[in-house]
Structure 1
Amino acid sequence: MATIAQSRAESPAINPWATFAVAAVAQFMVVLDASIMNVALPSIQRGLHFSQADLQWVINIYVLMFGGFLLLGGRAGDLFGRKRMFIIGLVLFSVASFAGGLAHSAGWLVVARGIQGLGGAIISPIALAIVSSTFAQGAERNRAVGIFGSLAGAGGAVGVLLGGILTQDFGWQWVLFVNAPIGILAALASVRLIAPDRLAAIREGFDILGALAITAGLISFVYGVVKAPSSGWGSATTLGFLGVGIALVVAFVAIEMQSASPLVKLDIFKRRNVAVADFAGGLGGAGMFAMF
């Protein structure tokens, strides 16, 4: 694992709340995009001639890519630098958003949405890491993380309202176009407002087997969840993908316990506050998506 130390102490000119603002805007955009498309689905179906069965993949592919690559997105920040990967994620998300707005076919839009999900999987974990490392441990960091979570959560509600306004007044394309300037401006601001990473000289190896297991496991599990409404929770397809996903996640845990360079240090979950926060965050995310 590449150990990264944020050099905020070496960059006193950077206002920590300015850094926070960039990370919060990026996370807000990612969460907003998870809900904004739902309102536009009827217009998208008419405009691009989606079948009813395929229409839901405009949402599902985003969730699938986001959930499947979330852990690797955070790990990429550790290996290659948070600032660098954060900017790459923003550019990827913005370009995919603009390309999706230009879509003339169902396949084009689904591919663009998948790339958006991948960009979001890079942005989200790194944005939180940037906020956590920008503020000193204690009340200031707790306050920043609390505000960050609140703003991110608001993105889901704002997405529903904004999606309706943009679709009605400008067309469904604008629920995608709106992300492009926000993402690009955030990427440009990141160049100046996020302190550069200082990579330690010693680099540990990359756990390829663990990466393959967790990515395949998450994708399989999320696919099972998104297929359940159409196939049924008790269907062989749903249970098969859920079962494979769970088995691969269990295999991932076993691999990490033996790995010299684990993707995730499992002992972190022994901390009660971490375990409770992860459970609450997962429950909140599941609740938000269940609304749609």
Structure 2
Amino acid sequence: MSTNTIEPPVPGGAQLAAPPNPHHERRWLALGVILIAQMMLLLDATIVNVALPSVQADLGFSDDTRGWVVTAYLLAFGSLLLLGGRLADAFGRKNVFIVGLVGFAIASAVGGAAPNIETLIAARAVQGGFAAVMAPAALSLIMVIFTDLKELNKAFAIFGAVAGSSSAIGLLLGGVLTDYANWRWTMYVNVVFAVVGIVGALALLHNSTEPNKPKLSVPSTILGTAGVFGLVFGASKAETDGWDAAITLASLIGGGLLLIAFVMFQKIDRHPLVPLRVVADRNRGAGLLTLLLGQAGVFALFLFLTYYFQGVLGYSPIKTGLAFLPMMVTVAVVATLTQSVLVQRLTMRAIVAGGLIIGGTGAALLTQADASSHYAAWVLPGLILAGAGIGSAIVSAVALAQMGVEPRDAGAAGALNNVSQQLGAALGIAVISTFVATANSNYLADHGSAAVVDATVHGFTVGYWWAAGAFWAGAVLTGALIRGGTRFHQESGQPDPLDEIVGGLI
């Protein structure tokens, strides 16, 4: 604890040096607190996946209902992110961050004690809502804590590495808790994370406010939230009901139209939920596009590999989690190398596009795995290459999509960052799952019902190819968008003609 002391006068009337800023001195500890919270949020996107069979056996619900344990979280998380980002800007980032932690902990405790599926799904939805409040605040806190650009880049690299590997860690932790404790601990463990985060936030963070605090616009909030909800809900229904189902089409079309109206309204709204100046930059747009397409590929791989390990190779939940461990390690190692070595030698275009190409190659290798394949033959190399792609391209995109944003818009930019990831995950899983199901059905029709295992593997192979396609499409598009010569450790001060065109349009 610091103490106040009286300093003697300085000879000659010289001014005393300003006392050190304790918040700045403890900035790396503060980053640790933010990482704990962010890991908790991303773990929950996957931690329940491997526990679902145990949850279903305990609470007794149908297969159709099972998916909503995951979907309820992603639906609330994705649709409320835009609002959550503006709350952080309007009411203080530390305040909103702590409120999110407290709410998430309470919802997790209720979910862990759930006596029936209805309570569990409701708790998951509330978790997602508070995650949407907390996630943008976490990213905007990093931007105001780290004032040195090189340190900010390093902080974003660490943040991205944690974000990139958290989903895989969730699979491992979910398997350990399910095998050695109980599925309910996949919920209760969040309370531990949250308590650590709350204590750390109270001790290490300070509430930053902007002189020109934004006000919340009710019309913008309704349009933005409803639009994202429609897209995520429609994608979820497509996975279960099909793309031609009335509810799927109505949700997707309605969500798309609402988002178009939302963008148009931001041009005339005095207090826009997402100021269009936040997206009027081709580098930032490339970062958001990388997150959208990259997460579509990543989450599809996680889903189909989990089914492949347990359903085809017969792995236990914990063995399934351990199978993802090489990917986690690769993400962390490559993210560190990217921040310390690659950014000094390569442009952002080379890092992001190259990483997406490598990630797509990893997904392509997975297409060679069948029911008799050894893990080390095709799966392990594919996981390592996919992890390398995540550790370079997607980790860098987190920073690219946030860099150069005005402090007053930090929360809104953080929300867009997270919206891109959530939409990518939801749409990627829904779209690619449809192709997988169709390929599975066609294989059974051609080879008979006895070829169930082969049909399953064939479906997964199609899914891996589509995941690779998402990576490679991202490489082409972002390679064209990122300004030439842009480097991670500096910001370009030169105006770009395409930026001026985009700015004029929006």
TM-score by length of 1: 0.93
Q: Which residue of 76, 79, 83 corresponds with 2:90?
A: 79
| Partner Cα distance (1:229, 1:197) in 2 | 42
What is the aligned partner in structure 2 of residue 6 from structure 1? none
What is the aligned partner in structure 1 of residue 371 from structure 2? none
| Partner Cα distance (2:85, 2:54) in 1 | 35
In the alignment, structure 2 segments of 5+ residues that lack a partner are 1-19, 304-506
CA positional deviation for 1:24? 1.1
- Name the CA shift for 1:146/1:203 in 2 (closer, same or farther; >3 Å): closer
8 Å CA contact 1:14–1:194 kept in 2: the answer is no
Higher strand share: 1
- Name the CA shift for 1:48/1:135 in 2 (closer, same or farther; >3 Å): same
CA positional deviation for 1:148? 0.3
CA RMSD of aligned residues (A): 1.5
CA positional deviation for 1:283? 2.1
What is the aligned partner in structure 1 of residue 67 from structure 2? 56
8 Å CA contact 1:224–1:241 kept in 2: the answer is yes
What is the aligned partner in structure 2 of residue 118 from structure 1? 129
Alignment of 1:224-263 (within 5 A): 224-263=234-273
CA positional deviation for 1:175? 0.6
CA positional deviation for 1:203? 4.7
What is the aligned partner in structure 2 of residue 276 from structure 1? 286
- Name the amino acid aligned to 1:72: L
| Partner Cα distance (1:78, 1:204) in 2 | 7
CA positional deviation for 1:277? 1.1
CA positional deviation for 1:188? 1.4
| Partner Cα distance (2:225, 2:24) in 1 | 39
CA positional deviation for 1:199? 4.7
| Partner Cα distance (1:12, 1:183) in 2 | 21
8 Å CA contact 1:31–1:153 kept in 2: the answer is no
Encode CA deviations 1:131-175: one digit per residue, 9 max, x unaligned: 122112522111111110111111101111111110011010011
CA positional deviation for 1:12? 4.4
| Partner Cα distance (2:248, 2:24) in 1 | 53
Alignment of 1:28-177 (within 5 A): 28-177=39-188
8 Å CA contact 1:75–1:263 kept in 2: the answer is yes
Encode CA deviations 1:24-50: one digit per residue, 9 max, x unaligned: 111111111101100000000010111
| Partner Cα distance (1:198, 1:220) in 2 | 32
Encode CA deviations 1:194-226: one digit per residue, 9 max, x unaligned: 1222352x5554211011001011111100011
8 Å CA contact 1:31–1:155 kept in 2: the answer is yes
| Partner Cα distance (1:221, 1:117) in 2 | 16
Give the SS at the match of 2:267.
helix
Highest Rg: 1 or 2? Answer: 2
Give the SS at the match of 1:197.
coil
Give the SS at the match of 2:209.
strand
Give the SS at the match of 2:182.
coil
8 Å CA contact 2:178–2:185 kept in 1: the answer is yes
Give the SS at the match of 1:35.
coil
TM-score by length of 2: 0.54
8 Å CA contact 1:96–1:113 kept in 2: the answer is yes
CA positional deviation for 1:233? 1.8
